[in-house]
Structure 1
């Protein structure tokens, strides 16, 4: 009888973690994930990207199962191309939250990810996408951002650092929304109480898997709830100091196959 797997669920962030800076997955990382899956583990992408922006990457991975998208606001079934779970941010509440933030720090530039498998990323004048490879539609006025239900709001400030903007936003919005920082130039508002951990827990329950069998990989403060939920959290060498402080292990960077380094140890093969 084969020995039971130490980890049955591998939860990976994408940007700055699984993907290299050019949005590609190395052959080594691809092989390490394939070996872990062949050994009986399941790989689950847990990302801040909304479902429509994750679909091409899942296709490249050959993934037809679940993915947690939109910072936990969406649980996406890639095979069926549908959302099993979706949480939206009330649009009036989002406008109120933006007003409170701007009262503290001055003007911000905003964007939104629309809900749904065909949702667009809309950006207002002055907003610059932190990931130039991700498609976005520019609108003429902030009011145009609220055409359809949204899963999150993205914020940028012309002068404040991401850490300073995130801290100011948390102080301004209180319990109106969850504030996360998920990458350079990426401070976000999402529905109150929604984090990567809530989405990961829902997906794991659907798959019949538990937190005790979960190893998670990430690089930014938005991954902290996921690390808190998982049995073991691995931060990349390029990770934000706040995530490194709570990680169980620090691996090499995303450019140096940090996930593969750990998976090759956990799933050594034959």
Structure 2
């Protein structure tokens, strides 16, 4: 696919894509995003992280615009400090989905992201956060996970790899939820039909932009819907094979400023 000289919308995942392994942004990446902004492009963070876990990163980016959070379940307005859009995962459906998965693979360990700009991440006994830098509150038992509305459930299995757990979850969950795999140790259940693409389309609509205007960067299978929606999808060198298979282009890794390499070419 021929690459246009520029885009009006730059959509970037965070973990494994824009962020380095230590959760920092390189000066080169910041400069490349600033150059794109000077050329008139809008930058949209499109991440599985919930809004409360994205706010500090938006501050680092100087972001005062919109961000798509929670795998598409939230559209956050950084300037106003509020959610423009939010959809929750029915907690009874989440419990039912968990039961179906455990009937197939035995015990899994779960965590939830609560809804809202101040929502907490709650983790049950046995669950280990894949990103130890992200704050979480440990609860005593699974029932405590459902104490407030949630945007998604995060799952880990003691022996199955992510691909295996995600495959089983998809085979048994059906229309109870959408199953995604968004990073090492991160298989998730979110509201049925909600993906990064649905959230990105909504946020782009607020900006008066559409798929033809967008270039998207990602590293995991949860970015596939976003690539399907955008005009051009760029996978990182460290991306999951499923995403590389549908990408229009593969750049360098997140540690090697792969996003900056592409943006410097498009916005010289």
TM-score range, shorter chain: over 0.9
SS at match of 1:85: strand
Distance 1:136 1:91 in 2: 19
SS at match of 1:111: strand
**Aligned residue number for residue 185 of structure 1:** 185
1:95 Cα deviation from its structure 2 partner? 0.3
**Aligned residue number for residue 201 of structure 1:** 201
1:175 Cα deviation from its structure 2 partner? 1.2
2:6–2:267: 8 Å Cα contact kept in structure 1?
no
1:210 Cα deviation from its structure 2 partner? 1.2
1:172 Cα deviation from its structure 2 partner? 1.1
**Aligned residue number for residue 257 of structure 2:** 257
Query: How does the TM-score come out when normalised to structure 2?
Result: 0.98
**Aligned residue number for residue 122 of structure 1:** 122
The 5 Å alignment of 1:99-178 reads 99-178=99-178
**Aligned residue number for residue 46 of structure 2:** 46
Instruction: Say how many residue pairs are matched.
Output: 265
1:259 Cα deviation from its structure 2 partner? 0.1
Distance 2:70 2:22 in 1: 21
Q: Any runs of at least 4 consecutive aligned residues in structure 1 with deviations exceeding 6 A, and if so which?
A: none
Please list the CA deviations of residues 238-269 of structure 1 after superposition, one character each: whole Å capped at 9, or x if unmatched.
Answer: 0000000000000000000000000000000x
1:6 Cα deviation from its structure 2 partner? 3.1
Please list the CA deviations of residues 170-229 of structure 1 after superposition, one character each: whole Å capped at 9, or x if unmatched.
Answer: 011011100000000000000000000000000000010111010000000000000000
2:216–2:230: 8 Å Cα contact kept in structure 1?
yes
Query: How does the TM-score come out when normalised to structure 1?
Result: 0.97
Structure 2: runs of 5 or more not aligned:
none
Distance 2:218 2:21 in 1: 14
**Aligned residue number for residue 87 of structure 1:** 87
Distance 1:118 1:265 in 2: 38
Distance 2:106 2:267 in 1: 50
